[in-house]
Amino acid sequence: MTQLVARIREQIRFEDRLRLRGRFRRRRGFVAFLAVMGPGLIAGVAGNDAGGITTYSVMGASTGLTLLWVFPLTTVILGVVQEMAARLGVVTGQGLSDLIRDRYGVRWTAFAMLTLVIANAANTIAEFAGASAALGIFGVPPIITVPVVGVAIWALVLFASYRTVERVFLSITLVFAAYILSALLAHPDWGEVGRALVTPHLDLTTTTLLLLVAVVGTTITPYMQFYLQSAVAEKGIDEEELRLEQVDAVGGAVWTNVIAVFIVVACAATLYVAGQTITSAADAAVALEPIAGRFASALFALGLFGASVLAATIMPVSTAFVVCEAFGFESGVGKRFREAPIFFSLYTLLLVVGAVVVLIPGLDLISVIVASQYVQGLLLPIVLVFMLLLVNNRSLLGHHVNGRALNVVATACIGLVIVLDVVLLGTSLLGALGVQVG
């Protein structure tokens, strides 16, 4: 019976892809790229969420430009990972959790799903907190921001088509240009910025090392890859458009790291020079005003709001996609509630939890954010290893498997992420046990 259901689902996917193939064949050149573009760019910038912007802001304010050289490295790592996720989605027409279940069984899938749901629920809370903090700078209270944002993004996903949702997401990504303007208004020494990007310098202190690990960890997260592959599969991108989707995926990795660089530069040229200490992205936005001007501060806050809203939508969507794919439930943004009730119910539940928890008086949201990062850290090595195994499976991808050179690069990138992840988790564990590190 299970095999019969699997065959039926595969046939439906095949017919959907045939239907969409005709639509894409009529498009060529840049028009074809515009038709394909979306999943990679959205997944990439979704990594610049409230937690990511906080990490980059603290990095610029506390270390200046000295760690800027890490971003060319994270660009390569994220580009490699996102390209593999996009290739898996295009060639197989399946999401990542779907492939893990089919190839490695229900136990591993259930473990990954439980971890992802817990981590993404905590991250959704963090995103609502980020949106609330951003508008709080303009005097808007959380009791207004949180419900309005929650209802708006819930209605968008529930009632709009996939294409409409994707266009809204792409529009929100333009908000990140606010960080470029903030950096320009900070008037940094661009020659010094250029040198910092290509000149590695590492202060071997525990604080700096942990900040470095945090930057890599916040740039590459499991939910980004789950979302990317599921979005590619749902969009029905065909193998003929594989190269275009690879450009989209790598372009998303480049764009998200470019934005991160400008966030660091904005804070380094102002807060670091002034010797100001911050603990969050909202602190950075407020502190920028007397140094770089109110407009720079407002742009920084606008970027934080847009980033938080985008991530607050993507995280519940990707979680609902992943869980439904893993256990064979119907899923899809373009479907109606009655067609995919579990998908939309899970999406709604995560949104409600995120919104309600943020409004609880006296809650330590920083602890929630930190806890979510640790859970994501536990899941990330497992997800990356699964991706590497799947993308080398010739029976699955045929001639689209990794070549030898790409395997060397991918293995090195994933190995580095795993090592850094172990360092962060090990240090955190020692700290929890009362052992002083460094």
What pLDDT does residue 24 have? Answer: 46
What pLDDT does residue 2 have? Answer: 42
- Token code pair at residue 285: 């936005």
What pLDDT does residue 209 have? Answer: 72
Q: How far is CA 13 from the centre of its chain?
A: 26
In the structure, how many helices (H) and strands (E) does the chain have? 21, 0
The radius of gyration of the chain from alpha carbons, rounded to an integer in Å, stands at: 21
**Structural domain of 296:** 2-431
Q: What stretches in the chain show pLDDT beneath 70? A: 1-37, 204-206, 292, 363-378, 424-425, 428-438
Phi, psi of 3 (to 5 degrees): -65, -35
| 438, part of any domain | no
**Contact between 420 and 211 (Cβ < 8 Å):** no
pLDDT tens digits for 172-203? Answer: 778 888 888 888 888 899 999 999 999 887 77
What pLDDT does residue 284 have? Answer: 81
| 415, part of any domain | yes
CATH of the domain at 129: 1.20.1740.10
What pLDDT does residue 68 have? Answer: 92
What pLDDT does residue 438 have? Answer: 54
| 284, part of any domain | yes
| 342, part of any domain | yes
What pLDDT does residue 190 have? Answer: 93
Question: The pTM is what?
Answer: 0.81
Report the SS3 class of residue 341. helix
| 437, part of any domain | no
| 344, part of any domain | yes
**Looking at the 3D structure of the chain, how many domains does it have?**
1
| 87, part of any domain | yes
| 436, part of any domain | no
- Token code pair at residue 224: 């980004």
Buried b vs exposed e over 289-325: b needs ≥16 C-beta within 10 Å? bebbeeebbbbbbbbbbbbbbbbbbbbbbbbbbbbbb
Question: In angstroms, what CA-CA distances link 243 with 11, 204, 251, 397, 407?
Answer: 25, 41, 12, 15, 18
